[in-house]
Amino acid sequence: MKTLLLTPAEAEKAASILRSGGLVALPTETVYGLGASALEEEAVKRIFEVKGRPQDNPLIIHVAGPEALSEWCEAVPESAYVLAERFWPGPLTLVLRCRKTGRPYIPDRVTAGLDTVAVRCPDHPATLEVIRLAGVPVAAPSANLSGKPSTTTALHCLHDLEGKVEAILDGGPCRVGLESTILDLTVTPPRVLRPGGVTLEQLREILGEVELDRGLVLPGETPKAPGMKYRHYAPSAELTLVRCGDAEAFRRYAKGVPDQGTAVLCWTGEEDGFPGKQVLAYGRGDEPETLAAHVFAALRELDRPEISRILVRCPEENGVGLAVVNRLKKAAGGKILCL
Ligand code: TXA
Ligand code: MG
């Protein structure tokens, strides 16, 4: 295996690996993806094996643009084109009816046998070029081992996937840092199955009514996106999420927790006042985009044997903050402490 640079020849090399049924880790604006041709069942099977991913968890297909919607989906509503026009390439995945007859179609192994398929057009020039050159839809889950934080640099991919894939395409750190927003357009009103870089507010501005999947907000409800039901994104340490009005309240809470084995994940500019504890800032509380961009890298950095407990200051659940808190909650097993 080798790490590819972004020359045209190497983009072609990555595309040819995909066409011939191999696996390539690809950069996107959200997180790195573990890509295979969606039309190569054996390659798709290998994705599940490499990640240790449950078979009932369908994959997103990555396409070069909106024209792919009519190729792989059926009964595509007008709203899908409106959204693609506005947000693609970008962090929005659309769940649509999957065409299952006629010309080659997306195999059940990708969709886990559902009658829908999740489609997205990633905003990364290298990966878009690879998808175009490969000439096939690229099935790609996040390029991490199942249960671990998603990967946002090529080095993180190497850490999880070294020796298990044919190549890793290094496209630098991911801009958004969290997986795409998943929007189900097969129901009325449309429903967000996973919050991400395209916010609920932005979707409502265009579509009017948009629901949040009950499984995301109500304890005990099963989320509609099969992948959202697993504990996820988690370092080995136990996470405590803290919602509080100001930095002082967070410091006071942290003071009551033993120093030994405790790390604090706080906001930039608020690092002082945690004597004896390991401290890491993951972005600015008033700019949730910056928290999103660094949260997975921070969780990976704190995934060390000497750290058994991580205290995290959570942002408000507005805008991209909704996605940041969603991922942190999944890593923490659902609990959040409100001071
Ligand atoms: O940003 C992203 O979306 C990244 C990059 C690589 O594109 N991909 C990603 O894939 O996050 P993955 O496999 O880690 O998460 C895909 C999620 C899972 O929760 C899965 O259950 C859900 O999408 N999903 C896929 N197809 C679906 C469908 N037809 N209906 C409902 N949920 C679906
Ligand atoms: Mg994932």
Question: Which amino acid is present at 63?
Answer: V
Q: What is the pLDDT of residue 229?
A: 76
Q: What is the pLDDT of residue 132?
A: 97
What average pLDDT does this structure show over 164-176? 95
Digit-coded pLDDT (tens) for 277-334: 999 999 999 999 999 999 999 999 999 999 999 999 999 999 999 999 999 998 888 7
Query: Considering only CA atoms, which residue is closest to atom 22 of ligand 1?
Result: 225
Digit-coded pLDDT (tens) for 17-33: 999 999 999 999 999 99
Query: How far is CA 241 from its chain centroid?
Result: 20
Residue 215 has pLDDT above 50, yes or no: yes
- Report the range of poorest mean pLDDT among 1-10, 145-154, 277-286, 329-338: 1-10
Percent of the chain with pLDDT over 70: 97
Q: How far apart are CA 189 and CA 212, in angstroms?
A: 10
Residues with Cβ within 8 Å of residue 46, at least 6 apart in sequence? 23, 36
Q: How far apart are CA 263 and CA 276, in angstroms?
A: 9
Pick from 93, 151, 156, 228 the residue to mutate for probing ligand 1's pocket: most ligand atoms within 8 Å of its CB. Answer: 93
Of residues 108, 132, 105, 144, the one with CA closest to residue 230 = 144
Q: What is the pLDDT of residue 3?
A: 46
Residue 51 has pLDDT above 60, yes or no: yes
Q: Is 290 close to ligand 1, i.e. is its CB under 6 Å away? A: no
Q: What is the pLDDT of residue 231?
A: 66
Digit-coded pLDDT (tens) for 271-281: 999 999 999 99
273 and 313 in contact (C-beta within 8 Å)?
no
Cis preceding-peptide flag for 315 (omega within 30 of 0): no
Q: How far apart are CA 326 and CA 259, in angstroms?
A: 27
What average pLDDT does this structure show over 73-87? 98
Query: Considering only CA atoms, which residue is closest to atom 12 of ligand 1?
Result: 141
pLDDT, the chain, mean: 94
What average pLDDT does this structure show over 81-88? 98
- For the residues of 244-289, what is the DSSP string, one character each? -SSHHHHHHHHHTS-STTEEEEE-TT---S-TTSEEEE-S-TT-HH
Beta partners for residue 180, in sequence order: none
Q: What is the pLDDT of residue 2?
A: 44
Q: How far apart are CA 81 and CA 148, in angstroms?
A: 34
The ligand 1 atom at the shortest distance from the C-alpha of residue 224 is: 31
Q: How far apart are CA 30 and CA 14, in angstroms?
A: 20
pTM: 0.95
Task: Report residue 255 as tokens.
Answer: 């003071």
227 CA distance to ligand 1 middle (Å): 7
Q: Is 235 close to ligand 1, i.e. is its CB under 6 Å away? A: no
Q: What is the pLDDT of residue 6?
A: 66
What's the pLDDT band for 222 if we cut at 50, 70, 90?
confident
Q: How far apart are CA 192 and CA 320, in angstroms?
A: 13
Q: Is 151 close to ligand 1, i.e. is its CB under 6 Å away? A: no
Beta partners for residue 2, in sequence order: 167
Digit-coded pLDDT (tens) for 7-16: 778 889 999 9
Of residues 25, 43, 44, 22, the one with CA closest to residue 33 = 25
Q: What is the pLDDT of residue 124?
A: 95
Q: Is 182 close to ligand 1, i.e. is its CB under 6 Å away? A: yes
- The number of residues in the chain equals 339
Residue 40 has pLDDT above 90, yes or no: yes
